[in-house]
Structure 1
Amino acid sequence: MWAIEINARKCATTHPYFWTRTLTGAALDAENDMLHVDGRPLVYQSAEYVASPLLAEISGESVLRMIEDAGLGYDPQSKEGVLVHMLSCARAHRKIGVTAISAHHHTADGYIRAVQRLITAPGHVVESNSIPPICEART
């Protein structure tokens, strides 16, 4: 017997969409299927597999600090930046999810690429592995 999961949605994962609408106050323009906030278009891109072996060595708090220090974190004033998800499993699975919100697709894509470069950059500060991960790796 095999067990499988079937994703029967008509579109992609919905949590990045709801985060984007909730954080920005954006409304969906049904005529052109675009989000708008304060009279301007708003887009988001999400990646659920932003990976690096270095994630096994740093805490979730450090990942968030690195993103903030690089100026990539979500800014409620500009309504742009990066949200991180699946952070509790970063050490165990060496990956995080990233949703980028921006006025332009190329900027949102650039945010995700910048986070990928950031978590794979040489010279990062390696922390102690003494804190066990919340999410256990399955073998």
Structure 2
Amino acid sequence: MNVQIVNSDKQLEQAYHIRMVVFVEEQNVPPEEELDAYDKDAIHFIGYKEDVPIAASRLRLVDDYGKLERICVLKEHRGKSFGKQMIENMEKIIIQKGYKKAKLNAQTHAENFYQQLGYETVSAVFLDAGIPHVTMIKQL
């Protein structure tokens, strides 16, 4: 998969489309919660397989850490390490920007996935958009 930082309106539309399919259509997140005020200041990523957009995410630099958000892969492309590739690319940017810690709010069903990538759970379970999540961090 070819992961790129979004640098055009077309790429941003593609990233938003993937997020809407995964979070709104599949997981029933309200559209007004999925696309929010943080999008305008975030660094957006898009993953392509043979020029077809299949994955998206966003990164925000907050306080002393990079916050990984909205990480998603279209259903038919899951289980092929594309999510891992998205995260690795996001972590590289966090380090390049001079930060040493990554933080994310993981859906509880994905907690093991993030643990395998070096993330440690630091919160109790909480609901976000009606979905159980935990906060996780990783020192980079």
Query: Per residue, is there more helix in 1 or in 2?
Result: 2
TM-score (norm 1): 0.30
Of structures 1 and 2, the larger Rg is shown by: 1
